[in-house]
Each structure stands twice: as structure tokens, then as C-alpha cells.
Chain A
Amino acid sequence: MNAIGAILGDFLATLGRATLFLLQLLLAVPRALLRPRLLLRQIYMVGQLSLIIIVISGAFIGMVLALEGYRTLSNFGATSSLGILVALSVIRELGPVVTALLFAGRAGSALAAEIGLMRATDQLSGMEMMAVDPLAYVAAPRFLAGFIAMPLLASIFSVMAIGAAGGYFVGVIWLGVDPGAYWSQIHQGVEVLDIRQSLIKSLVFGATVSWIAVFQGYHSAPTSEGVSRATTSTVVMSSLAILALDFVLTAFMFSQ
């Protein structure tokens, strides 16, 4: 009982500090926008880190979806609907969620480690002593970069999963679904609303993962153990947060 109380207390204290940190981070965002070169570099860095793994995962998840979907649909003689099945699953759900999980594991952990090492080697203190705010110079550009890169990465994932290397490859080229039907179903079935909801999810996940990563790195203990703890907690906490938020967002969007 006591142990649960302690864990809960710890969690609430961390959540409080993280919220305060988020406010400081948001206040530093305008100053970070004044350094577009720094921001572009960070977007390039996080994007480049996660691009390959996201492209490959997108293709494979699209192929598996098409295989499974084809088997189920063929029971109803509805294999011409394969396109819309793949497209909606990917756009509404798998695109944002899987991309965010991969992004947390690849870019999030790297961000936390990088900032944690800067803390451990006094680089952040050094900046402070040079009258340069590390929140504006280090933390905010990385936070923004994650926020901006996530929707782009999720779109790339979706295109891979639905298109040539994923669902289209298995469904049309391998299993022989009519290509005209595959695309026209997608064209008619996917609405602007679906894409907008997908975008909202990616933006929320991107902001959450980069917030957690930057917070963990910035507040890590200045030791090698502290840095390793920051990277692990970033991946664990981000993944849990993504799954929980996905449920909340989906439930909310259904009710509309």
C-alpha cells in the first residue's frame, strides 16, 4: 500500500515537473523560431534518424495487412475492397501509432541521450554562463523538430504501406486484385476527415514523444547511468503515452 503510494507520489511529482518544463519550453519556442537554421538542422537530424526504419516497416506492415485482409475479404467475395481496408487501417490507426512508436525508439532515445550527455559534460551550464539560454538553443529546437517531423514521417509510412511496396504489391501484383478497383475504392472511401484525424494524431504523438525525450535528457543525472536511464525511460514512457493517447483520441473522434 505504502509502495503504491510512493510510486504514485513519484509519478505525480515527475508529471508536475514535466508540465512546468513544457511551459518553459513553449515560452522558449519563439526564440527558437528566430534561429531557423538550427531548427532545420534538427528536423533533418530526427527525420534522417528514423526514415529508413519507417520506410521498411511501412512496406512490411502494408504487405501483411493486404495478405490478412485478402483472406478475410475473399470469404465474402469482396476482395475488390482490399484497397479501402488497407488504406483506412493505415491512415486512421497504424500510420500514426506505429510511426510514433518507431520514432520514440529511434529519434526519441537519441534526443534524450544527446541532451543528457550535454548535461553530463557541462555543455548546458557552459551555455548558461555564456548568457545563452539552453532551453532556447538546445531544447526548444529539438522539441519543435519532433513536432514537425512526425506528421511527415507518418505520411511516408502510410504511402509505403498503401502504395507500391506494401499493400499494392501484395494485393494487386501478387494476389491479382484489379488495380483499378484497388485505387478507386481508396479514392472514394478515404475522406478528408480521415486524413485530418490522422494528422491530429501524428501531431499529438510527435509533440508528446519530443516533450518526454527532451525533458528526460534535460533533467537526467549528470552521469553515464543517468543518461542511460533517461533513454530507457524515454522509450518506455513515450510508448505508454502513445498507446493511451491513441485510445483517448480515437474514442473522442468516434463520438463526433
Chain B
Amino acid sequence: MNPVVTAMPNDQPGPALVQVRGLRFGYGRKLIFDGVDMDFARGRITAIMGPSGTGKTTLLRLIGGQWRPQAGGITFDGVDIHRQNRAGLYRLRKRMGMLFQNGALLTDLSVFENVAFPLREHTQLPESMIRDLVLLKLQAVGLRGARDLFPEELSGGMARRVALARAMALEPELVMYDEPFTGQDPISMGVLMRLVRTVNDALGLTSIVVSHDVVEVMSISDYVYVISGGKVIAQGEPDQVRQTSSERARQFLDGRPDGPVAFHYPAQSLAEDLGLEAA
């Protein structure tokens, strides 16, 4: 509808599905984002990487409308997420799926019922069709046989895969994955990476993947943002980001302990702390 075509990361026509503009957000006085601009192009997989505690999960929650920015805004398909009443926000959320970092499965429901939950809540589908849909989603993550287990009987990696099946149950337009590969063995990791890619392409989704697994996530994504210290420090297609000249981004991507990003929380020197200097 909007005739203005914004410059896209992938030179792809049409405005991005999710646009972040001048985002400022903090918990209390602790500033997490300070003027961040991002585009999440339709039909693409965009990766968000960055050191632990920089606010990757926070960003996904901002997109989901669970937190409100102090300045700037986020639009989903041209609609400002944070200028909605509850009904409007819920309408938007039905078009999003989110995989939480720890799964967030409902502990009083079985694996099957967890995946069926959004279908039962938001569709009038007959029971037989719900059953088929749920089993297909579980099949895709390799857990069809685990349908009768309860969340407490699953390993961390299995729980995350069930959560993935649940996030895709309503076939949303946008899927946000918070650390989908953490705790997966090499086999399921490979399967999940391919799954994220195939689901994205087959259903024409837009995906946002938050991950620390630099090599793996780079290999499946179309565009990459590296954030640190409240700012985007590198962005581009995976090949461009691999060549980045930013010191901070280089240190993160190469996993070097020394550099502009401090591994240690600020403190007095170790020798002083251990009382060695005084002797």
C-alpha cells in the first residue's frame, strides 16, 4: 500500500516485514538499546548475534509487544506494534511465532497438547485435523514418538524442539527463534538448521534467529546483525560480515578473549583482590 520503497538489506523490493527505527530501551536506568535501526526482510532469515546480556532476547520481546520502547518504534507489516490496544496486539501476535530460550512449555500439558494449544485456542478445526497437524509438526522435529510425554520428562534440547513445533503450529508469518540450537547434539543441530531453512522457504515465512553459534547461524541466514553495547556494530550478508573491519565485531566473531569487548565485569586487578600486592 505504501508506495515508498525503503532501501532493503537484500535489495529486495517492498518494505521489510519488521522495521525497527531509532529504538531506545532500558530496564530502569540500565540502557539496553540506544538508537538501533534494523530491517527484517520478508521471506528471509535474519540472524541476530552478540555477546551474552546485550539484549537479544529483549529485542524479541520488544517485537512481540511485551515491552514498550522509551523512544523510537517497531512496525510489523506497517503497523506500529506499540500503538495497539490489547485486541490489536493479540491480532498481531497470532501472526507471529516465538521460540523461547528455555522452551516455555506449559508444564501441565503433554507434548501433544502443548503443540495443539495454539490451534485449540485460535482455530475451530475438528479434532481429527488438529491431531494430523500436531503429528506432522512433531514429525518435523523428530518427536512424534514423544507425544505423550510431559515437559518434565524431556531433556532441554527436546523441550526446545517441542517449542519449535508449537511456534510453527499456526503457520505464522514471522517466526522468532531464541537460541534454537543451544543444547542440541550435532545430529539434531543439523536437522534443526535445515528445518529452519526449509520451513522458511517452503512456507514463505520471515525468520529471526538469535544465536551464539556463529558459524552455524551464518551458514543458514541471509542477513546478519551483530549487536553489542546497545548498538548495531556490524551488519550485512554473511560474507560481508565475515570480512567486517569493526574491532568489536571481529573479536566476537573470532571468539578472542582480549579486545574492545571486555569478558570480565569491571573490577580491581586480580592481584589486588587476592591480596598479593600487599605482601
Residues on A facing B (Cβ under 8 Å): 117-118, 121-123, 125-133
Give the contacts of B77-128 with A (CB-CB under 8 A). 86, 90-91, 93-94, 96, 98, 100-107, 117-118, 121-122
Q: Which residue of B lies closest to A45 (CB)?
A: B108
Contact of B6 with A by CB under 8 A: no
Assuming A121-B104, A132-B118, what are 11 further A-B pairs, CB within 8 angstroms? A118-B107, A121-B102, A122-B100, A123-B107, A125-B61, A126-B98, A126-B100, A127-B106, A130-B121, A131-B121, A132-B117
Would you list 18 pairs from A and B whose C-beta atoms are within 8 A, ordered by A residue? A117-B107, A118-B107, A121-B102, A122-B100, A122-B102, A122-B104, A123-B106, A127-B106, A128-B64, A128-B93, A130-B117, A130-B121, A130-B166, A131-B90, A131-B118, A132-B117, A132-B121, A133-B86
CA distance A129 to B90 in the complex (A): 8
CA distance A129 to B57 in the complex (A): 13
A22 to chain B, nearest CB (A): 18
Residue of B66, B91, B118 near A130 (CB, 8 A) is B118
State the 10 A-B residue pairs at the shortest beta-carbon distance, nearest first: A126-B104, A122-B104, A131-B93, A131-B90, A129-B98, A131-B94, A130-B118, A122-B100, A129-B64, A132-B121
CA distance A130 to B64 in the complex (A): 10
Q: Is the CB of B93 within 8 A of A130?
A: yes
Give the contacts of B186-227 with A (CB-CB under 8 A). none
Best-surrounded residue of A125, A129, A133 (most CB of chain B within 10 A): A129
CA distance A123 to B117 in the complex (A): 13
Give the contacts of B54-86 with A (CB-CB under 8 A). 61, 64, 66, 86
CA distance A125 to B118 in the complex (A): 14
Interfacial chain A residues near B93, Cβ < 8 Å = 128-131
CA distance A132 to B90 in the complex (A): 8
CA distance A127 to B101 in the complex (A): 14
A contact patch SS:
helix
Residue of B66, B101, B103, B121 near A129 (CB, 8 A) is B66
A33 to chain B, nearest CB (A): 16
Q: Which residue of B lies closest to A126 (CB)?
A: B104
Residue of B86, B105, B121 near A123 (CB, 8 A) is B105
B205 to chain A, nearest CB (A): 16
Given A129-B96, A130-B93, A131-B93: A123 and B104 interface contact (C-beta under 8 Å): yes
CA distance A122 to B104 in the complex (A): 5
Q: Which residue of B lies closest to A128 (CB)?
A: B66
CA distance A128 to B86 in the complex (A): 11
Give the contacts of B172-192 with A (CB-CB under 8 A). none
CA distance A130 to B106 in the complex (A): 12
CA distance A133 to B121 in the complex (A): 11
Q: Which residue of B lies closest to A120 (CB)?
A: B102
Interfacial chain B residues near A118, Cβ < 8 Å = 107
CA distance A133 to B94 in the complex (A): 12
Interfacial chain A residues near B64, Cβ < 8 Å = 128-129
Interface string of B2-37 (1 = CB under 8 A from A): 000000000000000000000000000000000000
Q: Which residue of A lies closest to B170 (CB)?
A: A130
CA distance A123 to B100 in the complex (A): 9
A136 to chain B, nearest CB (A): 11
Given A125-B66, A125-B100, A126-B100: A131 and B122 interface contact (C-beta under 8 Å): yes
Q: Which residue of B lies closest to A41 (CB)?
A: B108
CA distance A118 to B108 in the complex (A): 10
Interfacial chain B residues near A132, Cβ < 8 Å = 117-118, 121
Q: Is the CB of A126 within 8 A of B106?
A: yes
Q: Is the CB of B104 within 8 A of A125?
A: yes
Interfacial chain B residues near A122, Cβ < 8 Å = 100-104
Q: Which residue of A lies closest to B169 (CB)?
A: A130
CA distance A130 to B114 in the complex (A): 11
Interfacial chain A residues near B98, Cβ < 8 Å = 126, 129
Given A126-B100, A128-B66: A121 and B107 interface contact (C-beta under 8 Å): yes
B58 to chain A, nearest CB (A): 12
Q: Which residue of A lies closest to B95 (CB)?
A: A131
CA distance A129 to B175 in the complex (A): 11
Interfacial chain B residues near A117, Cβ < 8 Å = 107
Interfacial chain A residues near B94, Cβ < 8 Å = 131
Interfacial chain B residues near A123, Cβ < 8 Å = 104-107
Interfacial chain A residues near B166, Cβ < 8 Å = 130
Give the contacts of B134-164 with A (CB-CB under 8 A). none
CA distance A131 to B101 in the complex (A): 18
CA distance A126 to B151 in the complex (A): 14
